[in-house]
A and B are shown apart, each in its own frame.
Chain A
Amino acid sequence: MLFNEPHPLETRVLTKRMHEPGYNGTVEAYERYGGYKQFLKAVEMTPDDIIGEVKTSNLRGRGGAGFPTGMKWGFVPRQSPKPKYIVVNGDESEPGTCKDRVLIENDPHLLIEGCLIAARVVGAERGYVYIRGEYRYLIDIMERAIDEAYRAGWLGKNIKGTGINFDLRAHSGAGAYECGEESALLESLEGKRGNPRIRPPFPAVAGLYASPTVLNNVETFAAVPSILEMGGKAWADLGIEKAGGTKLTCLTGHFNKPGVYELTLGFPVEKMINEVGGGVRGGRKMKAFIPGGSSCPVLTGDEAWPLNMDYDSMAKAGSMLGSGGVILMDETTDMVKAALRIMHFYAHESCGWCIPCREGTAWLKKLLTRLDAGSGSARDIDLVGDLAKNMLGRTFCPLGDAAALPTMSIVKKFRHEFEAKLSRPVSVPVTSPDQLVSLG
C-alpha cells in the first residue's frame, strides 16, 4: 500500500511497478512487468561484467554511508573456499527514514531479484533479509514473497536450469537501532547482542559466520535489477556525476505534503521542498533542515535552500545525504528541545560497548535536559559542544558520531536559543559536576 500521493516530479525506477494500477507485488505480477529477467541476463554475464555495470552506474550505498556499491562487491574474495553470504540490511531505524518499508511492502520480488544478482556475482548460495522486529508485517510479506519465489522456481536448487543454487530467508530483529550498523547486524544475525565488531576485517572478507558477505541496504539491492536493465551508464545519467540514479527520499516534519518520493540524485532542495513537498507547513520560514536522518549535521534554512540532494553537495555544506530521511523544521521549532530529543534517542540506543558513546550520550542527555528545563548555565552550552566533539571518531562504530554531529551543529548554529533558556545571565558560571549527577 502506498501511503502518500505520488508526485509528477518523481523519477520512478525502483518504484515504477508499484504505481501501476492493480499491481499487487506477487510473483506473477512481478514477472508480468518484466521481473526476474535481469537475473537471467546476469547469468549470461561474467561476475566482473556485472560489477563493472554497477561501478559504472555510480550506485552508492543507500543505507546512509554512501559507499560505492560496485567497489564493495569487488572486495569479496570470490575464490575463497568459504561459503559466501548475501545479507540485506532491512533494519531501517534511522529517525526520519521510512523508505525501505515502501519497497518491501509493495515490491518484495524486486529485492529478491537484487539478492539473486548479487549471489550470482560472488557465488553465494544463502542469503538473509534482516528486518527490524517492529516491521513484523513486512517480515510476513517478505516470507510470503520468498515462498512464492521458491514455488515459481526463482529460489532453491538449480534455479531455472542455470545451475545456480540460492536460498533466502527473512530474519526478525528484536528492537535495536545499533543493529542497523553492518557489523552489529551480523552479530545479531548470529544470535548475539548487537555490539559492533572491530574493522578490518570488513564484512566483504569476514562477515556472516566469518565468511565473505555482501551486505547492503534494501534500496541498494533493489536498485541493481534496473541497473542491468538500463545499463550502468544510462542509470548513472539519471543522477549527477559521482552519484547515479534515484534515491527514495522521505520528506518528514513540517512539510505540507510529507511522503516518500523517488527523486533523482542532485535534485534541488528548493524544488523538493516547494514543489514535491508542497512547501513549508503554513507558509512559514524554514529554520533547520536535516538531509538524511537525525545523525546528519543540521543545516540552517538559509544554508539548505540553495543546495542539491546529493552526497558531494551535502558534504560540501558540512552535512551528509545519509539515508534520505529529510527532516524539515519550521520557525516555530524549539531547537534545544529538538537537540534533547535527538540525544534521548542516541542515549537509549547506545549499545554500551564502548565508553565514549555510552557515557557521552548519557551525559549529553543530562546536560541537554537541564538546558531545556531552563536551569542550565552558560558553561553547560560549551560543555555540550566539547563533550560531543570528544566523542567524534573515538567509538567502535558510527553511533558515537551519529550522536555527536547533530548536537555539535545545533549548538553552533542555534546557540542563541540555548542562551535564551538560561536561568542566569551568561556571565555567571559554574555548576559543579556533582550537581549534574543528582539531576540525572
Chain B
Amino acid sequence: MTFSPDLEARFEKLVASYPEGRTRSAVIPMLMYAQDELGAVTPELVAEVAKRCKVPPIQVEEVIGYYSMLHRKPQGKYHVQVCTNISCLLVGGEELYHHASKKLGIGHKQTTADGIFSLEEVECMGACSWAPAVEINYDFHHHVTAEKLDVLLDSLKKPQ
C-alpha cells in the first residue's frame, strides 16, 4: 500500500520509536494515523500494518475490536462526538445529544446519507470542567449549547 509522504514519514518514525524486536508497540498508533487518512481500517491496512510491524495479522485484528476509536467502516467527514457522561449530563449533555441527533437526523454511530456527518454518544472525553463538551474529529468544543452546535454544524456543512 502507498500512503501520503507525511504518513510514510510517521510510520518510519513509529517503527524506530520502540526497542529492537518490539515493533508490535507501533501497531495501535499506526492504525490510528492510517485510519485518519483512509477513513477506516480496511483488510489491506491490517495486512500492511502487520507487515510493517512484523507481527501476524491476527495481532492487528485483535486490537481493532477492543479499542473504541478504531473502526472498520468509514465515519462521516465530520464525526460529531457528544459526551453524556456524568459531568456533562449534569449540565445538559444528554439534551445536547438529542438535539444533535434530531438536527442531523441520525442516531448513535450512524452517518448522514451525504456522508458529511456521523454522530456518536461518547464516554468522558476529558472536558468535564468546561462541559457540556463536543469533539468534532479531533477538535474540542466547550460549553456547547444547542444554538452554538447549530452554528457549528451549519458552518461545517457549507462547501469550503
Binding site for B on A (CB under 8 A): 3-4, 83, 92-98, 100-101, 126, 132-137, 169, 171-177, 188-194, 209, 250-254, 258-260, 294, 325, 327, 329, 333, 337-338, 341-342, 345, 348-349, 351
Dominant SS at the A interface? mixed
Could you tell me if B86 and A97 are in contact, using CB atoms closer than 8 angstroms? no
Could you tell me if B123 and A191 are in contact, using CB atoms closer than 8 angstroms? no
Could you tell me if B90 and A93 are in contact, using CB atoms closer than 8 angstroms? no
- B residues in contact with A250, CB < 8 Å: 128-129
| 28 sampled A-B residue pairs with Cβ under 8 A | A93-B123, A93-B126, A95-B85, A95-B86, A95-B128, A98-B127, A101-B126, A133-B69, A134-B135, A137-B138, A137-B139, A137-B140, A174-B31, A174-B63, A177-B123, A188-B28, A191-B53, A191-B55, A192-B63, A209-B22, A252-B129, A252-B131, A253-B90, A259-B129, A259-B130, A260-B129, A327-B90, A338-B86
Binding site for A on B (CB under 8 A): 17, 19, 22, 24-29, 31-33, 53, 55, 59, 62-63, 66-70, 84-87, 89-91, 123-131, 135, 138-140, 142
Bound CA span A345–B87, Å = 12
Bound CA span A348–B67, Å = 11
Cβ distance B18 to chain A, nearest Cβ, rounded Å: 8
- B residues in contact with A101, CB < 8 Å: 126-127
- A residues in contact with B66, CB < 8 Å: 176, 193-194, 351
- B residues in contact with A94, CB < 8 Å: 124
User: What residue of chain B has the Cβ atom nearest to residue A346's Cβ?
Assistant: B123
Cβ distance B37 to chain A, nearest Cβ, rounded Å: 13
User: Are A174 and B87 CB-contacts (below 8 A) given A137-B138, A191-B25?
Assistant: no
Could you tell me if B86 and A327 are in contact, using CB atoms closer than 8 angstroms? yes
Bound CA span A127–B122, Å = 30
User: What residue of chain A has the Cβ atom nearest to residue B131's Cβ?
Assistant: A252
User: What residue of chain A has the Cβ atom nearest to residue B10's Cβ?
Assistant: A143
Bound CA span A209–B18, Å = 10
Instruction: Identify B62's interface contact among A97, A132, A193, CB under 8 A.
Output: A193
Cβ distance B61 to chain A, nearest Cβ, rounded Å: 11
User: What residue of chain B has the Cβ atom nearest to residue A167's Cβ?
Assistant: B17
Could you tell me if A251 and B129 are in contact, using CB atoms closer than 8 angstroms? yes
User: Are A341 and B89 CB-contacts (below 8 A) given A176-B68, A191-B24, A193-B62?
Assistant: yes
Bound CA span A342–B87, Å = 10
Could you tell me if A4 and B129 are in contact, using CB atoms closer than 8 angstroms? yes
Bound CA span A251–B128, Å = 8
Bound CA span A293–B17, Å = 33
Instruction: Give the one of B22, B90, B135, B139 with max A CB within 10 A.
Output: B90
Could you tell me if A189 and B25 are in contact, using CB atoms closer than 8 angstroms? yes
Could you tell me if A191 and B27 are in contact, using CB atoms closer than 8 angstroms? yes
Could you tell me if A175 and B124 are in contact, using CB atoms closer than 8 angstroms? no
User: Are A191 and B28 CB-contacts (below 8 A) given A252-B87, A338-B86, A342-B86?
Assistant: yes
Could you tell me if B126 and A132 are in contact, using CB atoms closer than 8 angstroms? yes
- A residues in contact with B70, CB < 8 Å: 174-175
Cβ distance B112 to chain A, nearest Cβ, rounded Å: 22
Could you tell me if B28 and A98 are in contact, using CB atoms closer than 8 angstroms? no
